[in-house]
Amino acid sequence: MIKSIIKLRIIQTYRAIAEIGIFRILILLTILFIAFFYLFSELSNTNNKYYISVGYFVIIFFIHIKRLDTVFLKIYLKKYKTIQFIEYIIISIPLIIGLLINSYVLIPFYVFAIIVVVHIEINIKKSNRNTKIQRLIPYHSFEWKAGVRKNLFPIYTLWILGLTTSFFIGTVPIVILILAIFQISFLEKCEDLQIILAFEKSSTKFISFKIKNQILLFFALVFPLLLAFLIFHFDKWYIITIELIILLSLQVFFVILKYAFYKPGEKPVGMQMYSSFGVISIFMPAFIPVVWILTIYLYFKSLKKLNFYLNDYN
């Protein structure tokens, strides 16, 4: 059965390459090579190696709680957690190599943290909640309604934690970062075509509307945290400002990315590949200019994609 899982992963990889195209794959590989080179150089810095290790762990954690094949693996494999552990270690190879060169002492702690993650099981049914909070979200923001309903408890816990511990300088920036990752995950799946048609907007107006809505809701979510940070650490305003610029850039990027690869009711593989690069850029701000360039490129691609469906409103 393990051989079947390996074969399945190979097929999934092949489909991803086929959908994205060889040319774009080569571009992404080049960018990833530069990103990994940057990663190795930053790991030589005593302070950065801790931030990068935590950042990498956060990525693994979100991959784990968002993956949809856990039930499938659990049914067909007795040691499904071992498979997940091996997959997470493979994803972490760049970090582990960097730590071997610069700080091998951290590797056992990181591996232990991965072992803890694979033993975390999220019961989606228990986390589904319909509350008054959803009523505050505009009716047309269906991604936010669904995302908040599924992730209400962790979002609420993080939000309260950030407010109550905002007197620590690092708490609010970290909480806002994690909330942004949660919120970006709301855009993973494309909505049905009927929902897009119901807006009765041209491609340009539709994309602009979705971007504005995404930014406004994000600000509504983090504004109390921003205010709390400025009350206690006003002299460090530039920290939160830089973080906001990065996260707002990614808000726009992920909205445009979703519609550049739009497929009604699906999770496009190509979108997932670019999403991974976007998440990496959160922890490597030096690559945000690349995200800006990709955003411009994908914007025109998204217009072309949506024109096929919204031509009557142009």
Name, of 97-106, 164-173, 206-215, 268-277, the range with top average pLDDT.
Answer: 206-215
Q: Are residues 43 and 111 in the same domain?
A: yes
Q: What pLDDT shows up at residue 128?
A: 47
Segments forming the whole domain that contains residue 103: 35-122
**Total count of domains within the chain:** 2
Average pLDDT over residues 295-305: 91
Within-domain flag for 302: yes
295 and 177 in one domain? yes
- Whether residue 129 is predicted with pLDDT greater than 60 in this model: the reply is no
Residues 221 and 301 in one domain: yes
Kindly write down the DSSP assignment for every residue of 152-212, as one continuous string.
Answer: HHHHHHHHHHHHHTTTSTTHHHHHHHHHHHHHHGGGSSPPPHHHHHHT---HHHHHHHHHH
Which one is predicted more confidently, 75 or 222?
Answer: 222
- Are 62 and 145 in the same domain? no
Shared domain for 111 and 246, answered yes or no, is: no
The verdict on pTM exceeding 0.75 is no
| Whether pLDDT at 127 is above 50 | no
Measured CA to CA, the distance from residue 115 to residue 256 in angstroms comes to 35
Q: Is the domain of 297 the same as that of 310?
A: yes
Q: Is 253 exposed, middle or buried (0-12, 13-18, 19+ CB in 10 A)?
A: buried
236 shares its domain with 185: yes
